[in-house]
Amino acid sequence: MSDVTERARRYYDDFSASYDRGRDRGYHALIDELEVGVVKPLAAGKRVLEAGCGTGLILDHLTRVAREAVGVDLSPGMLSKARSRGLEVVQGSVTALPFADESFDVTCSFKVLAHVPELDLALSEMARVTRPGGHVVIELYNRWSLRWLARRAAGARAIGRAHRESDIPTRWHSPREALAALPPSLEVVSVHGVRVVTPAAAVHATPLGPLVAATERALVGSPLRWFGGFLVLVARRR
C-alpha cells in the first residue's frame, strides 16, 4: 500500500466514527437525495457497484431498487458501519477495483474521486468493471460554484479526532475539465448539478431551508447545473 493510500485509509478510519452524524437530515440528506435521484433510474433491476461507498448511506438507497448492489471502500472503519446496515461490501481501492471486467451494469462514485490523486486510473477502473452499454456515474467538485468559494473562505475543518480536511488532497475541476477527465471508453449522456444556490450548509437549518432545498431540486438538470458545487456526470460505456 502506497503512503498516499495509507494516509487516506487512516483519515477515513478516523472519520468513520462521526461520519453519519447529522447526515439523516438537512443539507447532507438533501445532497444524498439529489445524488441518489440521478442513479436510481439507471440502477433499477440492475447490478450496481458504488466505488468508495463509505458507511453505505447512498448504497443503502440503491439496494432498494437494484437487483444487486455492492460497495467497495478503502477504509475498514467505514466498511464496518456499512456492514452494520446489512450491506454487501468489500475492501479495496478505486484505483484497483477487486472485480472482473464487465461485472456491473452501473458503477457510481460520490464524494470520493475529488480526493483520488490517480483520477485517470480510478475512472479507467470504473469503466473496466462496467459492461458495454452500462453506465458510469461520477461526482467531481466544481470550481465554478458557490461551494468552492465557501470552502476557500472557511479553510480546512477538523475531521475525526486526529485529522483535518487538508490531510488528504482535494481537486476542484471546471466543468470543461470534468468532461475532459473521462476516458475514451466513456460517452457522456448527461450532466447534473447538485448544490447550485446554497451559500453555506447552515442555511438549511434556518427557516429558509425548505425554500432553498426546493430550489436545489429544481435546478439539478437546469442550465444552472454547470454551477453546482458537485458535478454529477452520467456516461455510457462504449
Residue 19 maps to which CATH number? 3.40.50.150
Best CA proximity match to 234, nearest among 37, 61, 65, 86: 37
Of all residues in the chain, what percent carry a pLDDT higher than 70?
100
Vertex 157 angle, CA 156 and 163, to 5°: 95
77 phi, psi to nearest 5 deg: -65, -45
The predicted structure's pLDDT at residue 1: 59
Q: Domain of residue 216: give its range.
A: 3-237
The predicted structure's pLDDT at residue 122: 97
Does the structure show a pLDDT above 80 at 161? Answer: no
What digits encode the pLDDT tens for the residues 125-156? 999 999 999 999 999 999 999 999 999 888 87
C-beta separation of 172 from 20 below 8 A: no
Buried residues in 102-112 as b, exposed as e (16+ CB within 10 A): ebbbbbbbbbb
Best CA proximity match to 51, nearest among 1, 103, 93: 93
Is pTM beyond 0.85? Reply is yes
The predicted structure's pLDDT at residue 115: 95
Report the domain count for the chain.
Answer: 1
